[in-house]
Structures are given as structure tokens and as C-alpha cells.
Amino acid sequence: MSSSSIVEAPPKGGFSFDLCKRNEMLSGKGVKHPNYRKTGTTIVGLIFQDGVILGADTRATSGPIVCDKNCEKIHFMAPNIYCCGAGTAADTESVTDMVSSQLQLHRYHTGRESRVITALTLLKKHLFNYQGHISAALVLGGVDCTGPHLHTIYPHGSTDTLPFATMGSGSLAAMAVFESKYKEGLNKKEGIKLVTEAICSGIFNDLGSGSNVDVCVITKVGKLLPDIFQFLGRSFSLYQFNFVLNGCGTGGKRIHEKPLKTQSTHIRQCEGIHLPQEDRLVSLSLLQQISI
Amino acid sequence: MSIFEYNGSALVAMVGKNCFAIASDRRLGVQLQTIATDFQRIHKIHDRLFIGLSGLATDAQTLYQRLMFRHKLYQLREERDMKPETFASLVSALLYEKRFGPYFCQPVIAGLSDDDKPFICTTDSIGAKELAKDFVVAGTAGDSLYGACEAMFKPDMEPEELFETLSQALLASVDRDCLSGWGGHIYIVTPTEVKECTLKGRMD
């Protein structure tokens, strides 16, 4: 079967480059390529006395617009390994899904629990292969038989092994919190508090991060505690729209509008002209000048 | 000029109580010239699953043909219809396959999954899924649609109220966008029936 035929059996996987030539031609004619959904983000991880804590915000952006106010950035890799992803959303999702499947197959093959270093090597090999064009920056954390581990993986394939790590557009804000408050041997409560503070710092100071905080605690027994701290609730009772049922009218009626501050200025009538009370004397003289 | 602004489109899907609605505009243009005023952007995959494709019309048509092909093969092999969640993963995989030379298309998927729970989802042009519980938007009128839907949406709306809300949101948003308009197509899907309506809007 010729490769130009559309009707053929579904391909076996991997990337297909057949539209590249057409897209090159279009950008040669000045057509801009579209904005991909990014998870311009704050993601953090730290090692505490019993294991690893990962944290992430939940905003997904497409250009300057927030397209998802509650997306999940902490991805499942294995029951004892989780991975936070920053960068292009499609890339982080696909790369973590793919490596998660490979880890599952490896578990079936070996009959053992997955190790964090295995996930790390699979991820960095894939990312290096594509020379940074797969834009996924990851914070990988987990607990295996050799202890708790925390790694960062950059889009080009380099990795770091650290006791605390931050990635994403809000990483500087979060790192500032970590650098001042981190110490070894934190207990679970202190660890969660520190991770939440770091993510909040990213949320408030970075425009690409926002909404809620997701926290994931991984300990030796493999128990997982996903906690979601909701900062911005949503109220549906603020606005009430009454629609005329023939579809032509829209009556918008706001209720419960409570202003933060009100300043009212009294207007007094003076010689047929409305003037604010404080400036009355000044304006009168101006008026007299004008009328001459 | 962005490639998405070549043809112009507006797509929105919203969730109600055991029902969902998906709506699109009807204009097909070549930049600023209008070529058709009855262009179909929403396609039925099966009775409980619809997909709307915004963006470049030629990529939307190709992608729709590929998806129908894959779904028909699935029906032959599995002897049943695809669930909306599975279909969303299929769309995401097809789009991510072309990661470095993508289709210029943004799909909106809406369906009823098991227990008649409504399911809506959108992806960007390379397949990053966004599952929402309230509404999803796509197209050149997307920014206005975000605003209109955010203001007008209420949870657990019955089908008649959902229809009213969605049509108001769509018409209000396309009026603020030059590249989409000329009325609307809206499908309201409940477990027992599919209602298709054509809306009259400003013809400019």
C-alpha cells in the first residue's frame, strides 16, 4: 500500500511528520502557528523524614487566557512514584503517560516494585532523543526500596538529584521560600505547610500560576494523600439572568453586589449650574469671569 | 495573521442535568470574505457522542474523516459504540501524533457516558486534553465565549434552560467577533432524544 493513501491500517505509534512540509510552507507565507496550551506553572518537591512531598498549582494557560482553572499537574507514574509536569501540556501528559505504561510493563516483567531511578532514566532518554523539542520540565519523586528520591528533569534531558526542587515559571518564587525555610528531617505537617507556602508564593507572584494547590505525600508504606487546598471558590448566586423565552431578550439583573468602598459627593444647585459642594467658591468666581 | 483566523469559528459545549448541549456558528470564510453561511462544524459520531471541530476547515474535515474511520473500525471489532472518554483519548492521540507538524484544529467533544452522565472535553491543536465540569469553548470567538459562559452558567440546568443559556452565550459572543456568526447550530442531547436547532443571528 502506498504511503500517500489515507485509508490504511492505523500506524504503530511514534510521531508522524507528514504535515510538516505544508506547515513550513504556511509559515513561509507569514502564517503564525497556534499557541499551545502551557501549564506555566509552579511545581515543587521536597524530601521529608518519611518520604517525598510533591506540590503543584492548577492553572493551565493558552497565551494570556486561562483555559483551565483546575487542571491536574501531578501525574501518576507508579503506585510509589508521582511526577509533576511543567511546560507544554500535551508534552507533559504524553511523556508521563508513556513512561507510566513502560513502568507497568517492566513491573510485570520483573515482578518487583518500580524504582524512581528507572522512571528517571526512561524519561531522560526520551527527552534527550528529541533534543528539547518536547517541552516538558518535570519534578519526579517517589519512595522505593532504596529510600526516598527526588529528581528534576529538564526538556533537553539533563537531570538533577536534590533534597528540594522547583520548576516552572513560578520556580523562583517557590525556591525563595524553600531556600529560607527548608531544613532536613521535617515531619509531615511541617513539610505540607512548607510546600503549600512555596506554591502559594508562586501563585501570588507569578502570572502563569494560579487557582488551587495540589499536594501529594508519598511515604514508605506507599500510602498517598492527595490534598487540595481551595483558595478561590465560585459562587453561582451572584448573577441572575432572566431570559424572555422567545429568545430575543436578555434581562441581566445583579444581586448581592457589595462594593468595597463608596465615596459620594453631594451636588448643590447654584445659579442653574450643578457644582460639587467643596469647589463651590472657586467655581463661582470662574463663572463670573466667564460671564463677563 | 494566525492560521486559526483563516476560516473563523465559534464552538461551545455546556453541561446540564443528565444532558449536554453543543453549539457552533455557521459561517465559513476565507479571511474577510464569507463563502458559506450554513457550514456544519458539529458532527455526530454516534447517538450519544458529538464532536465539533474549529480552526482551519480543511484540517477539520480531514480529522473528522480519520476519526469516523477509526470509530467504524472500533464498532466492527468491539460491536459497540465508543465511550466519550475513550473517544477523547483517541482524538488526543491522533493530534499528538502530529506534534511537530500539527493539524490546525481545536476539537470540542461532548457525549453521554455511562449512567447518562454528560462528558465534555476540549483539546488544543496538539492534543492536550482539558476535561471541564461546566463548559468548554473553542474558536476565534473563544475569548468572548469564556466571558459569556462564565457569567451565564449555572450547574444542573434542565434541557430547556440549557438551550436558552447556551444560545444566548453563543450569539452574544459571535456578535463580538468578525470572523464567526451568521446564526448558530445547537444540539441538545438527553438520554432519550437529540434535538437539533438552528438559530437566527445577525447576518454580518
Q: Residue A227's pLDDT band (boundaries 50, 70, 90)? A: very low
> Stretch B155-183: mean pLDDT, rounded?
93
- All 3 cell numbers of residue A103? 513502568
Name the closest residue on chain B to residue A18, using Cα atoms.
B101
Q: Give the Cα separation of A99 and A123 in Å (integer).
A: 7
pLDDT of residue A7: 54
- All 3 cell numbers of residue A185? 528531617
Name the closest residue on chain A to residue B150, using Cα atoms.
A236
pLDDT of residue A274: 54
> Stretch A163-182: mean pLDDT, rounded?
95
Phi-psi sector, B18: left (phi>0), alpha (psi -120 to 50), beta: left
**Contact call for A34 and B125, based on CB within 8 A:** yes
3-class secondary structure, B6: coil
Q: Give the Cα separation of B28 and A166 in Å (integer).
A: 46
* DSSP letter string, A7-48: SSPPP-SS---TTHHHHHHHHHTTPBPPPPPB----EEEEEE
Q: Give the Cα separation of B41 and A147 in Å (integer).
A: 53
Q: In Å, how far are A23, A106, A145 from A139, measured between CA atoms?
A: 33, 21, 20
Q: CB of B70 within 8 Å of any CB in chain A?
A: yes
Does the structure show a pLDDT above 50 at A62?
A: yes
Question: How is residue A271 annotated by DSSP?
Answer: T
> Stretch B53-76: mean pLDDT, rounded?
95
- Cβ–Cβ pairs < 8 A, chains A and B: 106
| B9-40 pLDDT tens trace | 999 999 999 999 999 999 999 988 999 999 99
Share of chain A above pLDDT 70, in %: 74
Amino acid identity of residue A251, one-letter, is G
Q: Residue A3's pLDDT band (boundaries 50, 70, 90)? A: very low
pLDDT of residue A68: 85
Shortest CB distance from B100 goes to which of A20, A32, A243?
A20
Q: Give the Cα separation of B130 and B108 in Å (integer).
A: 10
Q: Which residues of B touch A89 (CB under 8 A)?
A: 124, 128
**Contact call for B126 and A31, based on CB within 8 A:** no
Q: CB of B163 within 8 Å of any CB in chain A?
A: no
| A17-58 pLDDT tens trace | 888 899 888 888 887 777 787 767 899 999 999 899 999 998
**Least trusted range by pLDDT, from A104-108, A195-199, A228-232, B46-50:** A228-232
Identify the contact set of chain A against chain B, taking CB-CB distances under 8 A.
Answer: 6-7, 10-11, 14-23, 26, 30-37, 60, 62, 65, 67-68, 71, 88-91, 93-94, 133-134, 236, 239, 241, 243, 245, 247, 250
Q: Give the Cα separation of A18 and A12 in Å (integer).
A: 15
Mutate to test the interface with B, among A7, A12, A23, A238 (most CBs of B within 10 A): A23
pLDDT of residue A257: 57
Q: Residue A271's pLDDT band (boundaries 50, 70, 90)? A: low
Residues of A with active-site annotation: 41
* Range list of β-strands (E), B75-170: 105-112, 118-123, 129-132, 135-139
> Stretch A191-204: mean pLDDT, rounded?
93
Q: Give the Cα separation of B172 and A155 in Å (integer).
A: 42
Question: How is residue A210 annotated by DSSP?
Answer: -
Share of chain B above pLDDT 90, in %: 90
Taking the complete model, does pTM exceed 0.90, yes or no? Answer: no
For B43-69, letters b (16+ CB in 10 Å) and e give bebeebbbbbbbbbbebbebbbebbee
> Stretch B165-184: mean pLDDT, rounded?
92
Judge whether A232 and A211 are in contact, CB under 8 Å. yes
Q: Residue A70's pLDDT band (boundaries 50, 70, 90)? A: confident
Angle (nearest 5°) at CA A185 between A181 and A189: 70
pLDDT of residue A34: 75
pLDDT of residue A273: 54
Does the structure show a pLDDT above 70 at A9?
A: no
> Stretch A124-139: mean pLDDT, rounded?
95
Q: Give the Cα separation of A173 and A205 in Å (integer).
A: 7
Share of chain B above pLDDT 70, in %: 100
Does the structure show a pLDDT above 50 at A253?
A: no
- All 3 cell numbers of residue A276? 460639587
Q: Which residues of A touch B65 (CB under 8 A)?
A: 6
Mutate to test the interface with A, among B1, B124, B154 (most CBs of A within 10 A): B124
Rg (CA), chain B: 16
Share of chain A above pLDDT 90, in %: 52
Judge whether A117 and A128 are in contact, CB under 8 Å. no
Q: Give the Cα separation of B55 and B33 in Å (integer).
A: 16
Instruction: Write down the H helix ranges in A68-187.
Output: 89-110, 116-129, 171-181
pLDDT of residue A221: 66
In this structure, the number of other CB atoms found within 10 A of the CB of residue A14 comes to 7
Which run of H or E residues covers position B184?
Answer: strand B184-189
| B79-116 pLDDT tens trace | 999 999 999 999 999 999 999 999 999 999 999 998 99
Q: Which residues of B touch A250 (CB under 8 A)?
A: 168, 172
pLDDT of residue A71: 86
pLDDT of residue A264: 72
Whether complex ipTM tops 0.90: no
Place of cell 517557590: A174
Q: Which residues of A touch B199 (CB under 8 A)?
A: 247
DSSP bridge partners of B52: B42, B108
Query: What is the separation of C-alpha A292 from the centre of its chain, rounded to a whole number of angstroms?
Result: 66
Q: Mean pLDDT score of chain A, rounded to an integer?
A: 79
